[in-house]
Structure 1
Amino acid sequence: MNYNIPENLKGLTEAEVEFSRKKYGYNTLGEVQKETWMNILVGILKEPMLILLICVSFIYVLIGDYGEALFMFVAIVAVTAISFYQDNRSKKALKELEKLNEPLSKVIRNSKIVEIPTFEIVLGDLCITEEGNLINADGRIVHSNDFSVNESSLTGESYSVFKDSESEDNEIFSGTVTVSGLAVYKAERIGRETRVGKIGQSIINIKEEESPLQIQIGKFVKGMAIIGIIIFLAVCTFSFIKTGSFLGSILNGLTLAMSVLPEEIPVAFTTFMALGAWKLMRNGIIIKRSSIVETLGSVTVICTDKTGTITENAMQLKYLYDYRSDAVYEQEEFKSEKLNQLIDYAMWSSEPVPFDPMEITLHKTYEQNRPDDERKSYKLFHEYPLEGKPPMMTHLFENEQKERIVAAKGAPEAIINVSRLSEEEKIKIRGVVKKFGEQGYRVLGVAMSGFEGNNFPEKQQDFSFDFLGLTVFYDPPKKEIKKVLEQIYNAGIKIKVITGDNSDTTQAIALQAGIKNSTAAVNGGEVTLASEEELMKIAEERTIFTRMFPEAKLKIITALKKQGQVVAMLGDGVNDGPALKAAHIGVAMGSKGTEIAKSAAAMVLMNDDLEKLVIGIAAGRRIYANIKKAVQYIISIHIPIILTVSLPLFLGWAFPGIFTPVHVIFLELVMGPTCSIVYENEPMEKNTMNHPPRKLTDTFLNWKELTISIIQGLVITGGVLGIYQYSVYLGNDEFKTRALVFSTLIFANILLSLVNRSFYYSFIESFKNRNSLLAGITVLVLILLFVILYIDPVSRFFNVTSLDINELLMVAGTAAVSVLWFEFYKFAKRISA
């Protein structure tokens, strides 16, 4: 883009940038902290499972069992490695997200305009800001073009302030927003030295709110931890009374504590969210906070802007309506002399350096059809920015001969209202506008005025305008939009269009795009005047909202949220900022979206493709479903471990210490990767996007689901303890009994991980959803089991003996019966559905 920036503005050289950075640092509010090995080590040592392992190792050393102590040390290394792997994957994903979330800034360096990450702005940089951009450093304007800024973030005043290099106040500040035009400013304060940096230093210490799912999982894990402490104390006391051995009793207690503590759950949650956000990033969907991935799956209403989201935002100028000749002209006829004045004033009413697609088109039309280009002869000396309901804007230009041009354009109704027209003429023009609008065209009115002196009216509406005509644009719906909207409807999600355009155009485009609507459109004025009760009803029942301004958009979003809807808002403009911020998930367009929209949003679609939102919603549903599967798997498999460790001790069975910490930690090492790596990789079940969204307030496990998991665990316990008692009945020794019980539990674990891939479809059907990690973990666990059973030194260490083929078939069969009964439950569920 040609910014018409003076050649004398060359910016800093690379050497000057490096010197400035070394002296004054980066443009950031907080210090850039690198994670040290000490921080990583301290973080790992805080893990409850590691603390338990260290305690067990210490006890083994005290009682002289150095082999067990050595195994515990290996287990500590293994747990640390798994934790490090998980943590590293999560942090790597989050760092990639941070890089993409870092806003870019335009600066002039070595006489070239370049884009850099905002934190790389240095003191002395020449920065460029344009309409819709956030200003990212405090500085002084050195060049500007029709520049105005909204400083409400600092002053609380919401109106725009015009500034240039020659004005008395030519400073601009970080955190404010460019409303119109362009400015080049020299960065004089960056980072914490900026005005907003000094005001808001405490912001960087604000802790991000936990999501509902995080809170629920946290409570669940704390509850299990409390139960673990109670059981630990009970076992220690019971064992000490029975045996009199203090260290042995502590060891038994710690064994049980390890079996109770579900430390895999928070690890799984963090991994699922971080990797989910990372995978979406690879699909061109930037998630600013990994926790919103969960919320994506709960979206019940999508509120979307029209231009650039449903439509191409191409803005082709299809027709010109000339009021004086009362005729409509097509593109081939734009060179007609009758259209000269209309084309001229449509261009003059646009920004001198256009940013808006319609204004770019108007400038191109002027270039192509007006051989005498007068743009360099006139200078913009006064402006009324886009405002009003409906909106309009007015530009005043003057040349060296003091000849003036006063040009206005805006919503047809706004231009009609300020023009010298009779009521009959107004009705006639409204009829033309309506006809175009019903065909899906975007229409702007154009008018001219004259004014002597410099005592300009306070409002642009106070000028006396002559109506010139209409510019008629066509912004066609995106090619794949019908298919995308159909997917959204199939997922049980409502769609509402919230736009600044008029109702006729919006309804026509909505019909072409495939939006379901059987109610009349509502305009922003009606929304503003409605009572809270009326607003709730309007928000629920209506689909199309037109002539919407920021406050009206915000009211609709707020009303939908009060109804308990989970709202995603799509937008790309400055006026979408408040609504994007207020929605549960604000979604900004990455290519054509303004910086203020991207800043306010929680999610950015890199190529402005609405289909990416569907992918995001599907990912949210998949991740939520997989978290539930992982948690239910953890609950189900923990129950037999806990009861196999505790019941023989409490009931005085033949071999009360059937499992030692060695066996429990092996099972924990199997469960950890299964729930947090394998289930995270589990594909989405078929028909997931054909079900209505869940309520955000739903608990991640309701009583029915929790009961199912407990029953699964108890049935597996029955199978495992049945093998235990059968082995004792056959007169087997402790080593053989342990081998049978341990093998049964391992086989049950493998089968449970397969069965719990779906709580609706059969596990055979689930094999169609390929998951290579699940196959890999299953094979690895079986190899390790056979190593434990049949490699003599390992068998002795685990205190087990080998099993013959009949015994293996018996434990595998018992595990199958203990787990696969659930397939009949799922079959019954499918039949009754």
Structure 2
Amino acid sequence: MNEEQKWFSKDAGDVLKELDTEKSQGLSEEEAKRRLEHYGKNELPEEDKEPLLKKVAKHFNDVLIYVLLAAAVITGILGHYIDTAVIAVVAIVNAAIGYFQENKAEKALAGIKKMLSLFANVRRDGDRTEVAATDVVVGDIVLLNAGDKVPADVRLLKAENLNVEESPLTGESTTVEKHTYALDSETVLADRKNMAFSGTSIASGSGVGIVTATGEDTEIGKINQSIAEVEDLQTPLIKQTSQFGKMVAIAIVGFSVLMYIFGLLFRDYPLGELLLYVIGIAVAAIPEGLPAILSIILAIGVQNMAGRNAIVRNLPSVETLGSVSIIGSDKTGTLTKNEMTVTSVVTSEREYDVSGTGYVPEGDILYKDEVVRTEEDPTLKDLLLSVKTCNDASLKKDEEGRWDIKGDPTEGCLLTLAAKADIPVASPDVEAKIPFDSSYKYMATLVDATEEKVIYIKGAPDRIFDMVDQEGFKKPKWEQLMKTHAKKGERVIGVAMKKVSKETTSIDHGDLDDGVMFLGLVGIVDPPREEAMAAVKACNQAGIQVKMITGDHVDTASAIGYQLGIGDGRHALEGKEIDTMSDDELVKAANEYDVFARTTPQHKLRLVQAFQQNDKTCAMTGDGVNDAPALKRADVGVAMGIKGTEVAKEASEMVLVDDNFKTIVNAVEEGRRVYDNLKKTILFILPTNAAEAFLITAAIFLGIMMPLTPVQILWVNMVSSVTVSLALAFEQLDKGAMTRPPRPPNTPLLSGYYIFRIIFVALLIGGGTLAMNLSMIDQGYDQAIVNTVTLNTIVITQMFHLFNCRSELEFAFNKDFFSNKAVFVVSGLLILLQLFITYVPFMNTIFETEPLQAGYWLFPIIMGAIVFIVVEIEKVITKQVVNNKRYKRKEGST
């Protein structure tokens, strides 16, 4: 009912009338009960939970798994139970991995619920009453005090120095001062200062308001609904592997059927034996170990990221970071410190710079890069005394040794400024005070100085300018200075003083009508993180665009963005402009602009969708509730761990433990390493799988005994391949990985060169092994010996080929040859396993192998060395061809 109403644009009296409530009486208990029954409780709706059995079953919904399960059933019918068991285990392990990667929507919604208030103070039948927040209804008169959580969306009727902490909802870095008068109907969420929103908290002051929305109709409820409605996107890697799996499954099944028909028509194998051989082809060709290897590579990436202060909550997201081409980042607390800092002080004599950031009182007041002697500038000394005295905040270290402020952040940074002076600034007693109020926009204190009493004043510069009664004061000059600093992204505070007689014991507004002397201006910013600047530069070098999406004012956002290297400091798109754009127009604007200001949660979500419409793989960073829908929609949502809300964390794929934007660059680096190592793994596994399938296919064509049995093939695939290829997960980042552009989302998993390399190596290994097999049979070797030598040849050539695959085109024996110790560890383990299957009696029985004399090991070793040398020669030739093509393209472009 109330979702479409713009209560902020109506007079308070009209709101009371429309909602049929009296300010002094509130609702009656009877009316409140009736409305509660009509509109429902003030809580967010629960999502229907998926049954456990369905959650598990859907992870078997994969084409490759179907083929494997079919093979398991057939081998079981034929009595080959070992084959059946191993294939079934592969399918179950794959499903288990998928189950534990279940999406996090339920947790995200639960995180929002934790933000909501438990109790509320309302006025019912004229009495103040505490009720459960879930029982608050539209029309209730709510009483708000410092420390309270706002229980619902409220149109304020009374606001006494009321300041509300809204940064989790709107992204604002400072508390928002509230008032009660009506606003323009087009006012954006962050500027609705006559409203208090559910889930925010009262920082100071008190107020009274009327509830205009509850439950899912509140602003936080709309965000909750946005999260629930956002469709989970598949990561680029999952899309690629899914498409790859379907292609491989269709090809394998089709080829196996053709081979079965060929065997029936042209060979005299028994039907059961022929079926087993065809299953052998399928099992040999299917890279059933790939899902497990993929998960292991991603898990190692997750572990590495944890060591670099990033917690990855979804395995495939590690790789997705490597393909990110655009990062949409919140400003406050992400690119900036979310700690107000004085950066400049302007007096009539000089303009000073202030070093240091945040609330830590470390830094100096500088003039021309020299530390200022405060005693030499009486005006500066008075200004520092003014901002320290005319102040209600406190600054102290917490139990963990971090500097923290209690009170308004703006006043806190003024205390830090005073602490940066070269000499201690005095702390005289305050005898009287005019508290700050939005109606007059300043604060004043009466202080007893040594020889006289002084009224110190600070506030909005325009109000201070109007008070000044001082010879030589040039208002236009100071107004221009104020505008200059505001364009730099600074929030400007005016400071003044007035000397009064020693008999003065109290002050009021009339005491400031004359005799006020202007002291200067103080420029305050929420400073950019130093490490964020370096991270933005690194992103640009890696071909990644960084877009700032903030709820802050456009001038501040543009100025801070320019300092960070985002945008040109002049052009920015505001939320109200986004509202007027169609989706197609926004797609174009999203590409043109780098800074987006005064944005709402819906704007952020639309921008993420616009980036994706531009074929960008998008990461979105943020820390507030307002970021949650966009975090969930993005290809990778990145939440801040220290200052981030639980809602943001649960809606994201990655959490930065240190809130450091640079950690995102580390994550991109790790993502690119993971993807490169995955491709190396595929380059290793597929040729060996294809070589095994080639052996059996050739045997059917030639009408000879099978070189390998299905159970021997499973040994090779599930033990040898998984063990050896695991080593590639530990390969270091390739040179130049962070200077190449991100790969396009539609990049196929297998490039043309990879397909060539797979076929080339498969024929090399398969053809060479088959030739050796036939030669041994012609020489009269026992079939069991031949099969055992063939099995060991396939495995040992894989081990040699592993060293080929450590680099796509670089020479294997380079300076990084010993950098990955895992390669040598798994090679040693592989040799032990082959000795185990060759010489242990019960393994001979299960896998139909025979113990070999030492001389037989020359066959696999020589074959492995030949494969290694030939592939290295091919890499040298291919690298030369690639370099020639690049040179020609470069020459053509010039």
Q: TM-score, normalised by structure 2?
A: 0.63
Pairing partner for 2:252 from 228, 231, 244: 228
Paired residue secondary structure (2:280): helix
Paired residue secondary structure (1:764): coil
Q: Give 1:473 deviation, angstroms.
A: 2.9
Letter in 2 for 1:264: G
| Cα deviations by residue, 1:727-746 (Å, 9 ceiling, x for unpaired) | 23323232232223222111
* Cα separation, 2, equivalents of 1:98 and 1:372: 50
1:75 aligns with 2:123: no
Paired residue secondary structure (1:690): coil
Pairing partner for 1:650 from 701, 718, 723: 701
Q: Give 1:643 deviation, angstroms.
A: 1.0
The equivalences for 1:427-442 within 5 A come to 428-429=477-478, 431-433=480-482, 442=490
Q: Give 1:708 deviation, angstroms.
A: 1.8
1:718–1:818 contact (8 Å) kept in structure 2: no
Letter in 2 for 1:590: G
Equivalence for 1:215: 239
Paired residue secondary structure (1:763): coil
List alignment gaps of at least 5 residues for structure 2. 1-40, 120-131, 137-142, 171-184, 354-364, 366-371, 394-404, 419-424, 446-455, 497-516, 884-894
Cα distance change of structure 1 residues 195 and 476 upon mapping to structure 2, 3 Å threshold: closer
| Cα deviations by residue, 1:709-748 (Å, 9 ceiling, x for unpaired) | 2222122112111212222332323223222322211112
| Cα deviations by residue, 1:665-713 (Å, 9 ceiling, x for unpaired) | 1112125624874444443234322333222332222222222222221
The equivalences for 1:464-483 within 5 A come to 470-473=521-524, 478=529, 480=531
| Cα deviations by residue, 1:493-532 (Å, 9 ceiling, x for unpaired) | 4556677578799769966x7x498x66324579959999
Cα distance change of structure 1 residues 525 and 815 upon mapping to structure 2, 3 Å threshold: closer
Letter in 2 for 1:315: M
Equivalence for 1:444: 492
Equivalence for 2:506: none
1:822 aligns with 2:871: yes
2:298–2:319 contact (8 Å) kept in structure 1: yes
Paired residue secondary structure (1:697): coil
1:131–1:355 contact (8 Å) kept in structure 2: no
1:360 aligns with 2:412: yes
1:626–1:682 contact (8 Å) kept in structure 2: yes
Equivalence for 2:140: none
Cα distance change of structure 1 residues 576 and 360 upon mapping to structure 2, 3 Å threshold: farther
The equivalences for 1:272-283 within 5 A come to 272-273=297-298, 276-277=301-302, 279-283=304-308
Paired residue secondary structure (1:693): coil
1:213–1:699 contact (8 Å) kept in structure 2: no
1:769 aligns with 2:819: yes
Pairing partner for 1:29 from 32, 46, 57: 46
1:716 aligns with 2:765: yes
* Cα separation, 2, equivalents of 1:203 and 1:307: 21
Q: Give 1:263 deviation, angstroms.
A: 2.9
* Cα separation, 1, equivalents of 2:739 and 2:776: 49
| Cα deviations by residue, 1:14-43 (Å, 9 ceiling, x for unpaired) | xxxxxxxxxx9x99935788968x986996
* Cα separation, 2, equivalents of 1:475 and 1:163: 25
Equivalence for 1:617: 668
Cα distance change of structure 1 residues 365 and 819 upon mapping to structure 2, 3 Å threshold: closer
1:335–1:369 contact (8 Å) kept in structure 2: no
Cα distance change of structure 1 residues 415 and 580 upon mapping to structure 2, 3 Å threshold: farther
* Cα separation, 2, equivalents of 1:825 and 1:497: 46
* Cα separation, 2, equivalents of 1:274 and 1:138: 43
* Cα separation, 1, equivalents of 2:341 and 2:665: 28
Percent of residue pairs identical: 22
Cα distance change of structure 1 residues 328 and 200 upon mapping to structure 2, 3 Å threshold: closer
Paired residue secondary structure (2:232): coil
| Cα deviations by residue, 1:84-141 (Å, 9 ceiling, x for unpaired) | 88669x669x99x97999679579999xxxxxxxxxx99899xx99999998999999
The equivalences for 1:113-124 within 5 A come to none
2:108–2:647 contact (8 Å) kept in structure 1: no
Q: Give 1:601 deviation, angstroms.
A: 5.8
Moved more, 777-786 or 555-564: 555-564
* Cα separation, 2, equivalents of 1:794 and 1:434: 84
Cα distance change of structure 1 residues 286 and 29 upon mapping to structure 2, 3 Å threshold: farther
Cα distance change of structure 1 residues 649 and 493 upon mapping to structure 2, 3 Å threshold: same
Equivalence for 1:51: 69
Cα distance change of structure 1 residues 778 and 689 upon mapping to structure 2, 3 Å threshold: same
Cα distance change of structure 1 residues 445 and 823 upon mapping to structure 2, 3 Å threshold: same
Q: Give 1:823 deviation, angstroms.
A: 1.6
1:590–1:604 contact (8 Å) kept in structure 2: yes
Equivalence for 1:638: 689
Equivalence for 2:322: 297
* Cα separation, 1, equivalents of 2:146 and 2:826: 54
* Cα separation, 1, equivalents of 2:333 and 2:218: 34
Equivalence for 2:801: 752
1:685 aligns with 2:685: no
Moved more, 497-506 or 268-277: 497-506
Q: Give 1:281 deviation, angstroms.
A: 3.9
Cα distance change of structure 1 residues 822 and 280 upon mapping to structure 2, 3 Å threshold: same
Moved more, 570-579 or 660-669: 570-579
Q: Give 1:756 deviation, angstroms.
A: 1.3
Cα distance change of structure 1 residues 327 and 647 upon mapping to structure 2, 3 Å threshold: closer
Moved more, 595-604 or 233-242: 595-604
Q: Give 1:612 deviation, angstroms.
A: 0.6
Moved more, 356-365 or 280-289: 356-365
Cα distance change of structure 1 residues 138 and 146 upon mapping to structure 2, 3 Å threshold: closer
Cα distance change of structure 1 residues 359 and 246 upon mapping to structure 2, 3 Å threshold: farther
| Cα deviations by residue, 1:249-274 (Å, 9 ceiling, x for unpaired) | 32222222212223333444445445
* Cα separation, 1, equivalents of 2:842 and 2:146: 74
1:549 aligns with 2:604: no
The equivalences for 1:655-670 within 5 A come to 655=705, 657-670=706-719
Q: Give 1:768 deviation, angstroms.
A: 3.2
Pairing partner for 1:247 from 272, 275, 282: 272
2:389–2:430 contact (8 Å) kept in structure 1: no
1:788 aligns with 2:837: yes
Q: Give 1:782 deviation, angstroms.
A: 1.8
* Cα separation, 1, equivalents of 2:558 and 2:146: 25
The equivalences for 1:295-444 within 5 A come to 295-302=320-327, 308-309=333-334, 312-317=337-342, 319-321=344-346, 332=374, 357-362=409-414, 371-372=429-430, 409=460, 428-429=477-478, 431-433=480-482, 442-444=490-492
* Cα separation, 1, equivalents of 2:831 and 2:215: 56
Q: Give 1:199 deviation, angstroms.
A: 12
1:129–1:178 contact (8 Å) kept in structure 2: no
* Cα separation, 2, equivalents of 1:745 and 1:341: 83
Cα distance change of structure 1 residues 179 and 257 upon mapping to structure 2, 3 Å threshold: farther
Equivalence for 2:399: none
Letter in 2 for 1:261: I
Equivalence for 1:115: none
Cα distance change of structure 1 residues 318 and 191 upon mapping to structure 2, 3 Å threshold: closer
Q: TM-score, normalised by structure 1?
A: 0.67
Paired residue secondary structure (2:738): helix
Q: Give 1:563 deviation, angstroms.
A: 5.2
Q: Give 1:436 deviation, angstroms.
A: 5.2
1:345–1:446 contact (8 Å) kept in structure 2: no
Paired residue secondary structure (2:775): helix
* Cα separation, 1, equivalents of 2:781 and 2:701: 21
Paired residue secondary structure (1:821): helix
Pairing partner for 2:657 from 593, 599, 606: 606
Q: Give 1:631 deviation, angstroms.
A: 2.3
2:109–2:647 contact (8 Å) kept in structure 1: no
2:673–2:733 contact (8 Å) kept in structure 1: yes
Moved more, 822-831 or 481-490: 481-490
Cα distance change of structure 1 residues 79 and 139 upon mapping to structure 2, 3 Å threshold: farther
Paired residue secondary structure (2:260): helix
